[in-house]
Amino acid sequence: MTEKSKLSESKKWWIGTFIAILGVVAIFFVPEVRNSLGIGIEKTNSSNAASYTITFNANGGIGGNSSQTFMENENKLLNGGIPTRSGYTFLCWNGKPDGSGFYFYNDFYTTISVDFTLYAMWARIVTFNANGGVGAYGPQIFAVNNGISENKVLNGGVPTRSGYTFLRWNTMDDGTGINYYNGEVVTFSDNTMLYAVWKLPNSYTVTFDANGGIGGNGSQTFEVYEGGSDRIPLDGGVPTRSGYTFVRWNSKPNGSGTNYYNGEYTTVSGNGTLYAVWKLN
């Protein structure tokens, strides 16, 4: 073999080796080549990963998001939206409709590995209005399970106001609604605003005159608060008189004034006297 022939054979070997190397590189790094050879294209992690769905049940309410999808091992913020329900405030989500499961909250990072349903949890919110004072506590939450609002000790704090004494809470800002007291166990059927009731530094006294009889209560004190006096049951007792039966109280001795009855809720605007009204037996 001539030197020229040997050189030609060497060149052919190097060229063939180079082509073979290119082929191996193409198989490993060019997806189109691998696919044409039937090897297939390697799937990405995202296309391989399973997905799971959380379904959101408004649980008596309406609105909110219907569902949210999570990829396998994905950690992201829960977003069930904010459903609404008349007379209630949305609280959070729970794994069971009666609230006995695990709690979940919007905007908390969550990872799931199965499909499941979350149920809206509802609450009634009691808001405390210091009503001219300061220092009332923030809203108190009364959770609702199976349509029943929980019983809980009321705690609106003790607000303060210069020149006044805090008495209690009331559903009306003028104190004429339903009274509530810190420490009592209560429940609510709706979201409620409670207003502080303030006592002025004085009180009114109603004196009971037996008007010819004896006994009965001598007097009753009505605390004065902004907007008026206490609205409390009248309690003059039951005086007695020989040959007569006690009937009621009246603002005039001869019974021609305004009638008042024991047990009826009464408010007064100043000190005064009530007279027993008698019926002859």
pLDDT in tens, 6-17: 545 666 656 666
Residue 15 has phi, psi (to 5 degrees) of -65, -45
Question: How confident is the model at residue 153, as a pLDDT?
Answer: 97
DSSP 21: H
pLDDT band for position 22 (cuts 50, 70, 90) = low
Question: How confident is the model at residue 252, as a pLDDT?
Answer: 96
pLDDT band for position 20 (cuts 50, 70, 90) = low
Cα 7 to Cα 269: distance, rounded to the nearest angstrom? 127
State the burial class of residue 273 (Cβ atoms within 10 Å of its Cβ: 0-12, 13-18, 19+): middle
Residues 163-171, mean pLDDT to the nearest whole number: 90
- Higher pLDDT: 147 or 54? It is 54
- Across-strand partners of 92? 121
The chain-wide mean pLDDT, for the chain, equals 86
Question: How confident is the model at residue 120, as a pLDDT?
Answer: 96
Residues 241-270, mean pLDDT to the nearest whole number: 94
pLDDT band for position 19 (cuts 50, 70, 90) = low
Tell me: pLDDT of 28 over 90: no
The amino acid at residue 7 is: L
- Higher pLDDT: 4 or 143? It is 143
Cα 28 to Cα 22: distance, rounded to the nearest angstrom? 10
pLDDT band for position 232 (cuts 50, 70, 90) = confident
Question: How confident is the model at residue 172, as a pLDDT?
Answer: 94
Share of the chain above pLDDT 90, in %: 66
- Higher pLDDT: 48 or 89? It is 89
What is the domain partition of the chain in residue ranges?
Answer: 46-120, 125-198, 201-280
Question: How confident is the model at residue 44, as a pLDDT?
Answer: 41
Pairing of β 89-94 and β 116-129: antiparallel
pLDDT band for position 41 (cuts 50, 70, 90) = very low
- Higher pLDDT: 18 or 86? It is 86
Cα 215 to Cα 239: distance, rounded to the nearest angstrom? 4
pLDDT tens-place string over residues 216-229: 999 999 887 766 67
Question: How confident is the model at residue 17, as a pLDDT?
Answer: 63
Question: How confident is the model at residue 38, as a pLDDT?
Answer: 46
CATH assignment of 201-280, among 1.10.1270.20, 3.30.420.40, 3.40.50.970, 2.60.40.4270:
2.60.40.4270
Kindly report which listed range (92-101, 196-205, 219-228) carries the lowest average pLDDT score.
219-228
pLDDT band for position 214 (cuts 50, 70, 90) = very high
Cα 194 to Cα 156: distance, rounded to the nearest angstrom? 9
